Structure 1
């Protein structure tokens, strides 16, 4: 079922994006950021968002791994022209669709908006987002300025307290 609707106020999680055509029969390449990659098919319905911010819901996507991407069949998409028109659309799901994290683990998105404090009490602002460098993950704290803090526990990230809404770090305030 595909229906257009205005953007939704619930917290949505970006899981991947549509890359372009695979063949001539309406299959599409997908970049997935789930682990494992094909887990993206477990979290349906998807909300597809185009560059203009227009969203529509899509259920029933099926696919499999092919090289470094996934190849999928989407309901109602039957030719290469339809697929090309969808190039670049983001795949989002409500945060509530994700399974609870294991003990001692959390989703990056759950850290966004938490206050970041140095162990001495200095306020670094709030968690804007996180990203991976390959060597380690990096927490981006925005306050009086932006700080990039390696997400290495317990060396630099000492604790995450969701109840208090605080991440405590041991990172040079001047860096």
Structure 2
């Protein structure tokens, strides 16, 4: 089941069971077999190569490209997908460290028409004129950013994308951000808690489920369960009902 998370962008796909018991989790999850970034996507390399090409959107007028934003004008479905770490070249391009690996989950950054930037309390947005993968990062030219100095001034900005601009998923794939907060219930109908986070162990995704418990003194505490997001354990993801059905016992 599309990551870190933070509201960060991953998507997960539940893998089919393998001979080894799954131990971890990823930014995009697929239930046919594997799931903070709070929400992003990780695509197989062979599918991402075509996406790695520069994506040119409607440039429009750069004069009106970069604009100031407020908490009220910020999109309600904004998901943090990376951060601007440096300038790239001399013509106003920026370099972004994506929460999901570039070429694996950077397609949300590549395809989004508008980027929303937050640096401290300052909020801005700009159209993405061109974006592409470069080595292990994403580089992009944003409207209104015309030279290296302007690009350098954006260093440290957290990059958000509207959830509505995320690429469409296959039927059995999910963005991490869409799984956070869902109730986890086993086949016997026992509520095991809520998805608090997703983990990527390199092989597949893992649900980190929090639930109320008591310590040895009887004091209420928050405990957690780690459930591999793979088909052998995850049976149903019902986003409408905000529920995940798993083959997992409460005392595991």
Category of TM-score, reference length = shorter chain: 0.7 to 0.9
Q: Does 1:3 align with 2:80?
A: no
**Equivalent of residue 147 in structure 1, options 221, 225, 229:** 225
Count matched residues.
173
CA contact (8 A) 1:38 1:70 kept: no
User: Is 33-42 or 7-16 further displaced after alignment?
Assistant: 33-42
Distance in 1 between residues matched to 2:81 and 2:113, nearest whole Å: 11
1:173 aligns with 2:250: yes
Unaligned runs of 5+ in 1: none
Q: Distance in 2 between matches of 1:76 and 1:103?
A: 38
Does residue 1:72 correspond to 2:140, yes or no? yes
Instruction: Report the Cα distance in structure 1 between the residues aligned to 2:242 and 2:107, rounded to whole angstroms.
Output: 32
Residues 111 and 165, structure 2, Cα contact 8 Å, conserved in 1? no
CA distance in 2 between counterparts of 1:170 and 1:53 reads 44
Deviation string for 1:119-154 (max 9, x for gaps)? 23332222223231111111122221222221111x
CA deviation map 1:59-108 (0-9, x unaligned): 03313322111222222223444333322322212222224422222222
Q: What is the TM-score of this pair, normalised by structure 1?
A: 0.82
Q: 2:240 aligns with which of 156, 159, 163?
A: 163
In structure 2, do the counterparts of structure 1 residues 59 and 9 end up closer, same or farther at CA, with 3 Å as the change threshold?
closer
Q: What is the aligned partner in structure 2 of residue 112 from structure 1?
A: 180
Q: Is 1:103 aligned to 2:142, yes or no?
A: no
Show the counterpart of 2:153.
85
Greater RCO (Cα-Cα under 8 Å, separation 6 or more): 2
Deviates more, 1:6-15 or 1:141-150: 6-15
Tell me the SS of whatever aligns to 1:173. Answer: coil
Distance across 2 between alignment mates of 1:97 and 1:136: 25
Q: Which residue of 2 aligns with 1:61?
A: 129
- Decide which of 97, 114, 123 is 1:45's aligned counterpart: 114
1:53–1:159 distance in 2 versus 1, CA, 3 Å: farther
Moved more, 68-77 or 134-143: 68-77
Separation in 2 of the partners of 1:125 and 1:88? 35
Q: CA RMSD in A?
A: 2.4
2:92 to 3, 22, 26: 26
Q: Which runs of 5+ in 2 are unaligned?
A: 1-64, 213-222
